[in-house]
A and B are shown apart, each in its own frame.
Chain A
Amino acid sequence: MKNGHYQTRIRAIYNFISDNLYLNRPDIEIKGEHFNSTLLFGLLTGLNRGKELIIGEPGLGKTTSAEYVGSILYRYPLGIVWGSEISGHPEQTEEKIIGRPHLGELNKGREKVVWSDFAQIPVKIVDEINRLPETKQSMILNGVDRGNWEYLNEILINDEYSLFATANYQDRGTNTIIAPLIDRFDCLIESRHPGSNIAYTIGKEALVPHSLRHPQYEKELHQILRGDKPYEEKMTLAEGVCDLFGEYLKEQLGLEGLNKEERTHINEEMLGLNFDIDTNAFVRMMLAELSFCHKYGQKRSVETCEDGCHYTGYLCHHIKNCASNRLPMSMRKYAQALAWFLEDDGVDLEHIRLIIPYTLAHRIQWKDSYLSKKEGEGRNDPFQIYLVKAAAEETFQRYNEQREYLLEALSVGYRAFAGEEVTPLEGDHPIYEEIKKDIGVKDEKPL
């Protein structure tokens, strides 16, 4: 697939933001190209309607990177993005996050909801989400997951949206992000320090009115969002203003954002990219290690894996919880988005190996013994991401060694599932047991 047109525009956006707005170093490499992970994944999140959790030390551009990406991709002036952001603090209320009753109507005894900008616009940013108390986190769970927002028996459903949430590292005044909420994030990214040389240049040039702001369009959009019209109508009107802002961006900055139709088209292109056979098999192998338990049937966070199990050499022995079904969905989405961005014909191992650490890091609970072994090792990434990178490499080595045999096992699995009388292949790895379970063969290995 060599369309190239959309990809060129997205690359231009990437280059503009990295040259002018979010100054940082490239820290990942793929297909011979170097990218900054925060910016790249921000763009991918914006393109594939994902949900991203950005962590980092205070003041390192977590929120601003999300704001710039959201503003340009969705063509909302920065002022609107700022106005719609939710900030995490303990006294946040549902009325500030989702919507409130219309006071005039309320006085007349009628229920009518005034939805917040956050609920309405497709660019959703929650700043310092881990400062929200857990009850508030639960409140936005459904909205975050499906784009469904409910208040006073009314419901607002977002057609499309991307969510960016930021979190500082743990300190006084922060809570943990509840497990159901954190599992709903597709990826975890760190916004890093750019290094002293680049840091010095940030803010060195005179502050000019921000290039992504447009007071007039901001005002118009604000009025639309506050208005009484049905949500679908509002969005159509808003899209009109966004078109104008998009033209402004093109004239002034040479940037082309995306309208809704284009974003939808891109999504379809992404979904059309297939995984090659190796990527498919490797992901299955990885998922097997993250969900399998020989003794208890599957991994469960309330059951302890003991020493002496046949499978102590695999990831299932080092983790406490089971991988959720959202994990393969996130892997797929982002791998396809990345392959699309790089104008590749399909998703291959290089794409998936880059994506896995970022989609898995926040979802996995490692055992203390494993953490303590690894925490002293030198690394360039935050500990969570480093652990998954190392684990993924180990699993990849196993895949590399037994690739042919595994492909054959999966092929035999196909035939067995289709009803053919074949004997499934035996192997040491959990994936072979999973194949047997799928085709209804009992596991004979002793406990």
Chain B
Amino acid sequence: MKNPFEAFHHTGARKREIPLDTILKSKEETLSKILTGYEDLLKNEAKDLVWLMQYSTVIKAYSIAERGIEGLEYTAEDIEEFCYALDHSDQIPYLITGPAGIYISALCNHAQEQEICLHLRDLTVKINLLGYRLPTNKKLMVQGNVGDFTGIGLDGGELIIEGSGKNYTGAGMKRGKIVVRHNLGFNTGHGMTGGELMVGGRIKGLGKIVGGKLYERDQLIFPNEGIKPFYV
């Protein structure tokens, strides 16, 4: 039978590549690698799609995340793309906010940039555990609202949330600074031992704070006479 595509024998792809193509290709490849790391994390940590928020599981998940991103070259924009893909793309079958937040925190902590800005306003889901162990000399700005356990274990970095957070913000932070422009939920600063937590809006409830400073609408509310440090 005659080849019905005969006329296209010599039409190889007359592809003209412009730098935009390279940039987008590289972006896709990087995102793909980041997604692979996340999937590995889920495989190890979220069996049956259940992940329990516990001290030990967080630590373990973080070290798996670190291993997953080792050797990866990425930028702050790649992290943002990953956050976007979590929410919108069907590339990621499961969005479990705990491991997702830890993974993103690992990405931020190991990014080349000192200052990272994540634009998360459009996300429908609020990611937990952002800013986990943010180290000294790192500044993470999040445009949008965040979930629970934001900035827990902060280790010297500066975390700015241009939005609201939920519960257990700043829990266990050791040093550094967290600024939240709007409101926070319950158990704020639970177990924090140092650093500053500044809230521009209202705090629904405080946790058992050990040390550091906590401001609500520019007023220092911890330490002050009404609230004593919590000694375990």
Nearest residue (CB) in B for A417 is B3
Interface size of B by Cβ–Cβ distance < 8 Å? Answer: 13
Report B-chain residues with C-beta under 8 Å of the C-beta of A410: 5, 8, 11
Kindly supply a per-residue 1/0 record for chain B positions 1-23, scoring 1 wherever the CB is within 8 Å of any chain A CB and 0 otherwise.
00111111111111100000000
How many A residues touch the partner, as a band? 10 to 19
B11 touches A277 (CB 8 A): yes
A414→B13 contact, CB < 8 A:
no
Q: A277 with B8: in contact, given A414-B3, A417-B3, A418-B3 (CB under 8 Å)?
A: yes
Interface of B: prevailing SS: loop
Bound CA span A271–B13, Å: 29
A408 in the interface (beta carbon within 8 A): yes
Chain B residues with Cβ below 8 Å from A418 are 3
Inter-chain CA distance A407–B10, complex, in Å, is: 10
Bound form: Cα–Cα A425–B14 in Å: 16
Q: Does A142 contact B (CB under 8 A)?
A: no
The reply to whether A411 and B11 contact each other, CB–CB distance below 8 Å, is: yes
Name the one of A277, A408, A417, A438 contacting B13, with C-beta atoms under 8 angstroms: A408
A411 pairs with B13, CB closer than 8 A: yes
Q: Does A79 contact B (CB under 8 A)?
A: no
Q: Distance in Å from the Cβ of B177 to the closest Cβ of chain A?
A: 49
Is the CB–CB distance between A280 and B7 below 8 Å? yes
Distance, CA A418 to CA B7, complexed state (A): 13
Asked if B3 contacts A411 (CB within 8 A), the reply is: no
Minimum C-beta distance from B17 to chain A (A): 11
State whether B4 touches A417 (Cβ < 8 A).
yes
Closest to B7 in A: A280
Which residue on A lies nearest to B8, using beta carbons? A410
By beta carbon, the residue of chain A nearest B6 is: A414
Q: Does A404 contact B (CB under 8 A)?
A: yes
Chain B 124-160 against A: per-residue CB contact (8 Å), 1 yes, 0 no?
0000000000000000000000000000000000000
Nearest A-chain residue to B12, judged by Cβ = A411
A147 interfacial contact with B, CB 8 Å:
no
Bound: A407/B12 CA distance, A: 8
Contacts of A281 in B (CB 8 A): 8
Q: Would B11 and A438 count as touching, CB distance under 8 A? A: no
A88 within 8 A of B: no
In the complex, what residues of B have CB within 8 A of residue A417's CB? 3-5
Interfacial chain B residues near A275, Cβ < 8 Å: 7
Q: CB distance A411 to B9 under 8 Å?
A: yes
> Nearest Cβ distance between residue A270 and chain B, in whole angstroms?
18
**Is B3 a contact of A404 with CB atoms below 8 Å?**
no
Chain A residues within 8 Å of B6, by CB: 414
Contacting pair B5 A404 (CB below 8 A):
no
Tell me the B residues contacting A by CB distance below 8 Å.
3-15
Can you offer 18 A-B residue contacts whose CB atoms are under 8 A?
A275-B7, A277-B8, A277-B11, A280-B8, A281-B8, A404-B14, A404-B15, A407-B14, A408-B11, A408-B13, A411-B9, A413-B4, A414-B3, A414-B5, A414-B6, A414-B9, A417-B3, A438-B5
Q: A411-B12, A418-B3 are in contact. List 10 more A-B contacts (CB 8 A).
A: A275-B7, A277-B7, A277-B11, A280-B8, A404-B14, A410-B8, A413-B8, A414-B3, A414-B8, A438-B5
